[in-house]
Structure 1
Amino acid sequence: MTAEGLVAALLADTGDEDWPARVPNRLDSVLAALPRPARAGVHTAVAALETYAVLRTGRRLATLDPDARESLLGSLAARPRLVPLLDLLKVPVMLAACTERMPTAPLAVTAPEDPPLDCTPAQEWPTRSTADVVVVGSGAGGAVAARTFARAGLSVVVLEEGAHHSTASFGRRAPLDRFTELYRDGGATVAVGNPPLLLPVGRAVGGTTVVNSGTCYRTPEHVLGRWSSAYGFRLAESFGPRLDEIERTLRVATQPLDVLGNNGLLALAGAERLGWRAGPLRRNAPGCKGSCQCVVGCPTGAKQSVQLSVLPDACAAGARIVTGARVRRILLDHDGPGAPRAAGVQARRPDGSELEILGPLVVTAAGALQTPPLLRRSGLGGHPRLGRNLSVHPATSVAGRFAEPVTAWKGVLQSAGVEELHDRGVLIEATASPPGMGSFVLPGLGRELRSELEDADHLATLGAMIADRPSGRVQGRDRTLVRYDLDPRDGDRLMTAVRAMGRLLLAAGAEEILTGLPFAPRARSLDELDELLTRTTARNLHLSAFHPTGTAAAGADPRRAPADPEGRLRGAHGVLVADGSVLPSCPQVNPQLSIMAAALAISETWMEREG
C-alpha cells in the first residue's frame, strides 16, 4: 500500500520535520500485524481516498501541495457519510505517527530477571505425550488451575498459542511494536454489530494479564450474591478466602500517590471538588515506576502478571508449558457408557504439524472468545447457550485540555477509580496510554489534527466502562466471529458516563473537553456538553470493549448454563471450564481477580470430588 500521500495529508506534513517521513514505514508494520479483513478495509479506504483525489484534482495525494491536500480533506470532512471512512484511516496513522514523533526513552531502571518458567516451543515438544491434566491457555484462569493441580501432585501440561516474552524484552522495543505482537489479531479483534466494538485480548504466556492495566477489583458482594442465588453458581459463596489468596499471590495493594502521575491526580482533584467517591486503584504492581506501559508488557517487572507470579509456582511444582501450540480439539473417548470422556488434546505447531497430549482431564482456559470455538471443534458445542451470554464492558473515553502540561503518559497507566456512579453501572477510571499511543480522541484532520497532536501533553484522559447486559455471542469453529449489539439501556449509560467524565474534568480545571464525537468534538462548559449530547447517541462515540465473559457460563439450570455449578462442562466427563467464559454475568469490575478466584474454586472442588 502506498501511504505517503495519506500520511502527508492527515498530518499536514510540510517537510519541515523529519519524523513524518518515517510514518509510512511504521504504518506498514502496524497494518501487517492486523487480520486480513482489517487490512483489506484500510487498503480499500486508502484506494477510495486516492481515487477521490484524482477525480477532484487530477493528481494523487502525494503529488499535491500542502494547501491542496488541506482543501481536499476539508471537502471530505464536509460529507457526513465519509466521516467513518476518515476515522478508519486516522486510527492506524495516528498510532504510527505518535510512535515516530515521540520515541520512547530508555527507562532508568534495569529489568529484573524473571522467575524461571519451564517453557518448551511446540516444535521441540514430542508428537505424543501424556499428562494427568492438560490446561488450554496460560492466562488468569489457566495459570491458577495449573498451579492448583501441580501442587496436588498431578502432572500438568499447559498449552499456549502465544510466545513467552521476558520483562527485559519489553524494555528493548517501542510500545507500538509490542502492542501488535502481544495481542491477538495485532490488537484489532472486532465485535461486529451496531456499533462495531474494538475488543483487544492478549496472546502470550500469561494471556491478557500480560497486557491488562494491573487494576485488581474484588468481585462485588452483590455480584457474588446474584451469581449464587439467580444462577446457582454456588462456588461464588466461597470466593472470599480465595480472593484473599489471589491478592496475596499478586501482591495487590493500593497504588501510592507519589507514582500516580498528573492524570490520576487531576481525576482525584475533580472528584474531591464534586464530593464524589474516588481513590487510587488497587493494583498488582508493587514498586511500580510509573512507566505507563502496562498494556504492552510492563518493562520494569513491577506488574505481577501471572507469568511472573502464578506460573512460576506451577512450574516449581512440576507443571510444563508448551508455547506456540494452537489447540485444535479436545480428544474424546466414546467407548464407555454415558457421555464421552476427555482423553487429551490435539494441537497444531506453527509449521502445521500436529502433536497430541493424552490425559483424562482437560481444563479449557482459552478465554471467553476462544473457548466456545474450541468446544465446537471438539464435538462439544451442542449446548444452545454456548457462545451466547457475552458481556464485554463497553467503554469510551473523554479528554480534558488543561492550561498547564499534564504529560499523562508519565505515571501509572490506570491510576484512580471514580465510583460515584458504580451503583448505576458506570465505573470511571483515570486511564492514560503508553507513550506514542494516546491519540484516539484527537479531533480534526490535516492542520487541525497536527495542532492537536503537538498539544497532546496538555490532555488528561478518563475512561468509563459499563456493566452491560449480555448482548453478544461468539460464533464460529475454526475462525472466531464475535457479534455484539449494544443494548439501548447500555447506550444510555455510556452517555451518562461521557457527561460525568466531562463534569469531572471541568471540575479539575479543564478548559475544554474533547468528546470523541466526530460531529461535536469539543465543549467548553457543562451546558455546552449537555447540548452536544442531546444531538447524538452512544453509537456515534468512539467505543471499545474489554473483559469478555459469560460464553460458557456455569449454573444450576442445564437449559441456561453450558457448565454445571462446579465448572464442569455439561455433556462430557473430564472437561472443566476455568476462564472468563464461566462467569454467569458481567462482573461489573475489572475481572482478573474474579476469573482467578473462579478457577481456584473450580480446580479445588474437582480435587475434593475426584482427586
Structure 2
Amino acid sequence: MAETEIEQTEVVIVGAGPSGAIMAHTLAKAGIKVTCLEQGDWISPADYAANFDMWELVARGHWATEANSRANPADYPLELSETDLPPSMYSAVGGSTIHFGALWPRLTVSDFRVKTIDNIADDWPITYHDLVPYFDEVDNFIGVSGLEGDPAYPDGLAPPQPAHPLGKAGMRTAQALNQLGWHWWPGANAIPTQKNGELAACVRYGTCVQGCPQGAKASFDLAYWPAAIAAGAKLITGARVSEITTDENGLANGVNYFFKGQKKHLKSNYVVMCANGIGTPRLLLLSKSDKHPNGLANSSGLVGKNLMLHPNCCALGYYEDDLETWRGPLGAVISSMEFYETKEENGFVRGAKLHASTAPGLILNGIDPHRLLPFDELWGEAFHGVVKDATSAILWAANIEDLPEESNCVTLDDTLVDGDGIPCPKVNYRFSENTLKIREFTLQKMVDAHKMAGAKKVIPVLEMPGEPGHLLGTTRMGNDPNASVVDSMGRAHDVPNLLIADGSIFVTSGSANPTSTICALALRIGRNLVDVIQNQKT
C-alpha cells in the first residue's frame, strides 16, 4: 500500500476526547497550526438512544459501553482473557464523554501525596494547588453546576452554576447521611443548570449516560470542539493512527494513519497523545524504532504498566413512596467523601468515593438482570409493581480507588488485530487484595445508607462490568526518567517533542471521577506547549 504524504502541521493530536479537545482549543487560540486525528466520527445527538421510546434497549447495541460488545467500525477489539474488569471506552469526537454521567469531582489534596501520607505508591510531581487555576478555568468554560464550600476540598472551590435540585431522592438520602453522621455535599456535575455556550440548560430528562436529547450534558463534542474548530483547529475523523514516526535523532516527526483504507503520513513538529490509558500505551508500543527498540518513550519500561480502572460497585434501593426516580440528572445528586481517606481501623489503605443518584428506566430499576425476576412476575398485574418500583428507587454507586501495580498492564496481543491490521491491546488486570477489601466495605456502607433512609428492599451489586471507563496510569508522570514516562508537563523524558495529556499520566487514581482532573492537566500541558512554541519563534 503506497504511503501518501500530506501537509505538515505544527502539532498533531491523537484522540478527540476531552483532553484532545482542550489541547486543540488551547493551541488554536494561540495561533498554532494544530490537527487532531480521531478514529471515530461525530455523533449526532438525534441518534442518541435516549431519543427513542425503547431507549434502554437501543442503548445495549450500538451504544454499549464495552468496545468488544459494541464492535462499531471505529472500535478496536481488546484481548481480555486476563482481566477481572472489562474496560469501557468510546471512539468518537468527544470520546467516552459521549457515555459519561458527567460527575465532576476533582482529585483531592491527598491524592497527589499518597506516598507522603500513607507510605504507599508514589507522590505526583505536582500538587492539587498547581492545578487549581486550570480546574477553575475548565469549570467556567463548560458551566459546571454545584455548590461552593464542600469541606472535602480546600477553600475556593466554587462551581460557576447553581447545583441541581436535590429532589425527593436527594433529600431522602441526605437526611439518612445526616443521621449516620457522614459527609455529603450536592454533587458537582458537568451539566449546566443555565444555558452555557453550546450547552442548553438541563431539563432533568435523567438519561445522561444514554445521551442528552436537550444537549445539556458537557460531552466534549459539544462543550469544547465547536470552540476549538472556530479558533482554527483542524479535526479529521475516521483516522486511525498506526505509528508515531521518529527521525534519525529519535525525535517525533509525525504520525502514520489509515483513512478510508489509505495509509497517510502527517508531518509535525510535536505529537500530543490523548488516546486514553489503553490507546496511548498501545500506540507507543507500536512505535518501535532503532532508537526506541522497546517502544517509544519506554526506556523506563513503564509504558503500559500500572493500569488503574476504578472498579465500581453499587446498591439499588427500593422505597415505598414515589421518589420521582425519572427526574435527572443521573450523575450525582449528592456525593460523599466519608470513606475517601485511609482509616487504619478499616483494614485497608485509601478508600472510595460514593455518589447517590436517581435511577431512571424500567430495565435498570425493574427488569434488571440483578433482580432475576421470574417471567410471570414481569407481566400482567405484576408489571404494575415493576413500574412502581421504577419510580421509587435510589442508586448508590462508588468508585473504588485502585493502587498502581505494574502487573496490571496494557501490552500488544500477538494475534488480535483491528480493521486495519494493527495489533490490538491485551489488557491484564486483576483486583488486588486491598481493592477487594475496599469494595466489600464500601458496598456494605451503601446498604447501610439505604437502610437508614428506609428502603424496603436493597440489591447490592458487587461487580459492574463495563463501568466506569476510567483508564489511568499507563504512562505515569514523574521527575525521575527511570521511574516515569513523562515529566510534570506531560513531556516524554525520552522524546521531548512527544507529549501525553490524557488519564494515562496519572500517578495514582484517587477514587474521584477523573475527567475534571484530566481536563485540568490537559489545559496546563497545552498552555506550557504554547509558551514553548512561541518562545521558539521569537
TM category (shorter chain) comes to 0.7 to 0.9
Give secondary structure in 2 for the equivalent of 1:345: strand
Q: Are residues 440 and 201 of structure 1, via their aligned partners in 2, closer, same or farther at CA, if it must alter by over 3 Å? A: farther
Residue 278 of structure 1 corresponds to 184
Give secondary structure in 2 for the equivalent of 1:283: coil
Equivalent residue runs for 1:145-544 within 5 Å? 145-170=23-48, 172-173=51-52, 174=55, 176-178=57-59, 180-182=61-63, 183=65, 184-186=67-69, 192=80, 196-226=84-114, 230-231=122-123, 233-234=125-126, 238-254=130-146, 259-286=165-192, 287-334=201-248, 336=249, 340-349=250-259, 351-379=260-288, 380-381=295-296, 382-383=298-299, 384-414=301-331, 415-424=333-342, 425-433=351-359, 435-438=361-364, 439-447=368-376, 456-457=389-390, 458-471=392-405, 472-476=408-412, 478-516=423-461, 541-542=463-464, 544=467
Shift of 1:455: 5.5
One-letter amino acid of the structure 2 residue matched with residue 266 of structure 1: R
Give, in whole Å, the separation in 2 of the partners of 1:144 and 1:195. Answer: 31
Preserved CA contact (<8 Å) 2:124 2:507: no
Residue 128 of structure 1 corresponds to 6
Shift of 1:368: 0.4
Preserved CA contact (<8 Å) 1:134 1:157: yes
Give secondary structure in 1 for the equivalent of 2:397: strand
Q: Are residues 281 and 505 of structure 1, via their aligned partners in 2, closer, same or farther at CA, if it must alter by over 3 Å? A: same
Preserved CA contact (<8 Å) 1:227 1:236: no
User: Structure 1, residues 288-339: CA drift from partner, whole Å, max 9, x if none?
Assistant: 21112221222111112222222222112110111111111112212x4xxx
Give, in whole Å, the separation in 2 of the partners of 1:374 and 1:157. Answer: 18
Give, in whole Å, the separation in 1 of the partners of 2:104 and 2:7. Answer: 37
Give secondary structure in 2 for the equivalent of 1:213: coil
Give secondary structure in 1 for the equivalent of 2:220: coil
Give, in whole Å, the separation in 1 of the partners of 2:18 and 2:276. Answer: 9
Give secondary structure in 2 for the equivalent of 1:308: helix
Give, in whole Å, the separation in 2 of the partners of 1:324 and 1:231. Answer: 38
Shift of 1:192: 4.4
Give secondary structure in 1 for the equivalent of 2:305: coil
Runs (5+) with no aligned partner, structure 1 = 1-125, 517-537
One-letter amino acid of the structure 2 residue matched with residue 429 of structure 1: H
TM-score by length of 2: 0.78
One-letter amino acid of the structure 2 residue matched with residue 269 of structure 1: Q
Give, in whole Å, the separation in 2 of the partners of 1:191 and 1:449. Answer: 37
User: When the two structures are aligned, how many residues end up with a matched partner?
Assistant: 458
Preserved CA contact (<8 Å) 1:194 1:486: no
Runs (5+) with no aligned partner, structure 2 = 72-76, 148-161, 193-200, 289-294, 343-350, 414-422
Looking at secondary structure, tell me which structure has more helix per residue. 1
Give, in whole Å, the separation in 2 of the partners of 1:558 and 1:268. Answer: 46
Give, in whole Å, the separation in 1 of the partners of 2:478 and 2:171. Answer: 42
Preserved CA contact (<8 Å) 2:310 2:400: yes
Preserved CA contact (<8 Å) 1:394 1:546: no
TM-score by length of 1: 0.69
Shift of 1:361: 0.7
Q: Which of the residues 510, 524, 527 maps onto 1:601?
A: 524
Preserved CA contact (<8 Å) 2:244 2:254: yes
Shift of 1:352: 2.4
One-letter amino acid of the structure 2 residue matched with residue 557 of structure 1: D
One-letter amino acid of the structure 2 residue matched with residue 498 of structure 1: L
One-letter amino acid of the structure 1 residue matched with residue 267 of structure 2: L
Give, in whole Å, the separation in 2 of the partners of 1:397 and 1:191. Answer: 26
Shift of 1:553: 0.7
Percent of pairs with identical residues: 27
Give secondary structure in 1 for the equivalent of 2:93: coil
Residue 82 of structure 1 corresponds to none
Shift of 1:392: 1.1
User: Structure 1, residues 219-274: CA drift from partner, whole Å, max 9, x if none?
Assistant: 21222345999445237652111111111111112176764444433322321232
Preserved CA contact (<8 Å) 2:362 2:386: no
One-letter amino acid of the structure 2 residue matched with residue 346 of structure 1: N
Shift of 1:167: 3.0
Q: Are residues 558 and 257 of structure 1, via their aligned partners in 2, closer, same or farther at CA, if it must alter by over 3 Å? A: closer
Calculate the aligned-residue CA RMSD, in Å: 2.8
Greater RCO structure (CA 8 Å; 6+ sep): 2
Preserved CA contact (<8 Å) 2:112 2:126: no
